């Protein structure tokens, strides 16, 4: 199968971008389960548009209370955001690797500078995928993903602070 080298690289890039878009959608779906529309918002509101409130559970937390010199254990209600109770899953593409053999024998005549190795190959060079011949080379293309958005961790951290502020000291 013959393809243009630039087209092959563009196809790989497009596949990685589509995969990252899918990962971003998975993150939004996961975050959406921890929130509900705020009062007054439309019922068909799509996350993250509009205003949202964190889903939470009420837990009874014991704490010591001192009244008139008497120390006793009392229970205090704490609203715990669900997002602070469950571990965050990271749907991240760490790296993409493609290893293939390309036969450059189908390439058109190259300019002198390219033939001498003084210039890069033009992206319109035609290559034959998977064919081993006298002009073939094994090519490994590695793409690393970007880090997760820092806002994701900050969001959970903010709700952990809300939770900690409710806990007795």
- What does the buried/exposed string (b/e) look like for 105-138 if buried means 16 or more CB atoms within 10 Å of the residue's CB? eebeeeeeeeeeeeeeeeeebbbbeeeeeeebee
Give the integer Cα–Cα distance in Å for 139 and 115.
19
Mean pLDDT computed over 132-152: 67
SS3 at position 99: strand
Least confident of 28-32, 92-96, 147-151: 147-151
Confidence bin at 144 (pLDDT 50/70/90):
low
Q: What is the pLDDT of residues 86-109, one digit of tens each?
A: 776 666 677 777 777 777 654 566
| Residue 139 CB contacts under 8 Å (≥ 6 apart), including other chains | 98, 99, 100, 101, 102
Q: What is the pLDDT of residues 40-51, one digit of tens each?
A: 998 788 888 899
Mean pLDDT computed over 139-145: 65
């Amino acid at each position: 199968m013959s393809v243009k080298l630039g087209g092959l690289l563009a196809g790989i890039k497009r596949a990685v971008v589509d995969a990252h878009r899918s990962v971003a959608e998975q993150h939004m779906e996961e975050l959406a389960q921890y929130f509900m529309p705020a009062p007054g918002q439309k019922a068909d509101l799509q996350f993250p548009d509009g205003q949202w409130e964190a889903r939470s559970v009420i837990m009874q937390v014991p704490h010591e209370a001192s009244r008139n010199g008497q120390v006793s254990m009392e229970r205090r209600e704490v609203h715990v955001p669900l997002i602070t109770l469950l571990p965050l899953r990271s749907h991240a593409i760490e790296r993409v690797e493609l290893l293939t053999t390309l036969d450059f024998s189908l390439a058109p005549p190259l300019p002198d500078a390219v033939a001498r190795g003084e210039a890069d190959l033009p992206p319109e060079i035609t290559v034959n995928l998977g064919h081993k011949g006298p002009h073939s080379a094994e090519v490994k293309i590695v793409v690393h993903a970007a880090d997760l958005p820092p806002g994701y961790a900050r969001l959970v951290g903010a709700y952990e602070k809300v939770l900690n502020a409710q806990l007795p000291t």
